[in-house]
Amino acid sequence: VTATIIDGKVIARDMREHLKSRVQALGEHGVTPPHLRIIVSSDDADQTLYAGRLRKTGEALGIEVEVENISETLTDERLAGEIQEVNRDPRVDGVIVTMPLPRELSADTVYSLLDPAKDVDGVTVANAGRLYLGQAAHPPSTASAIMDLIHSVAANVRGMNAVVVGRSAIVGKPTWLLLMREGATVTECHTGTTDLGHHTRQADILVSAAGRPKLITADMIKPGAIVIDAGINETDGGITGDVDFPGVSDTASAITPVPGGVGPVTNVVLLREVVLNAESRARAV
């Protein structure tokens, strides 16, 4: 390994320290703690685990995290009612609805009804539109985390060639927009791309969010590239990313490991948006 390992755990720890002091400062000014509401509509173990982890991380920072499970009544009316209630509740700074929703519910209910200001994970149509238009928005947390990881080794991406593999609404597409907004020249690759390596070999910054183990191999990397691996794949050998780490880490200049790269930063970025909202609430009074 010759590349710098971009250690997501260390970056996340530093971000948590910083957030904790911001939350403390709010308290010292008599502001009620930042409040995150997580709406869970499934008994799926992954979603329960996700909500529990987020609560634990948030509470350690002084953020109130309330998890609400609505899986006993799976109707869009109930979901819409919950969303309207949190939209109105002045205590609530941020809302997350864990996905995927059970088939009885429509994600459109969340995308169209949730107050974009409280949509800290940037899933609503309004936030996606604002991001597209270059307006202030809450971007999806994974895309934001990817940008933080890039910035840890390259403060300024202007003029760089970036390649994003994956075009999902929560990772690939918003990452393309955020990189472009900062002046990178971005190529967006996906399952329709012929000769992926032809594109990735031009990349000063390569972001992979495809969910395909060993998709990105050493021969596809421009020497000295920054490689951000957002993939999470369960394989017989454990959790791996999309990047063939042993080979690529000898060609890249910096690389995120999986696990321990994008994942740990994503949740903290989400909580940062909650704190940001609480700070705006404090300024408004």
Residues engaged in binding ligand NAD (CB under 6 A): 142, 165-168, 170-172, 189-191, 193, 196, 209-212, 215, 230-233, 262-263, 266
Residue partners of 281: CB distance under 8 A and separation at least 6:
31, 90, 93
195: left (phi over 0), alpha (psi -120 to 50) or beta: left
Minimum CB distance to ligand NAD smaller for 118 or for 173: 173
Per-residue buried b or exposed e for 55-85, using 16+ beta carbons within 10 Å of the residue's own CB: bebbeebbbbbebeebeeeeeeebbbebbee
Pairing outcome for strands 238-240 and 233-235 = antiparallel
Q: How far is the CB of 28 from ligand NAD (least distance, A)?
A: 32
Residue with tokens 């899933």: 123
Q: Is the bond leading into 259 cis (omega within 30 degrees of zero)?
A: yes
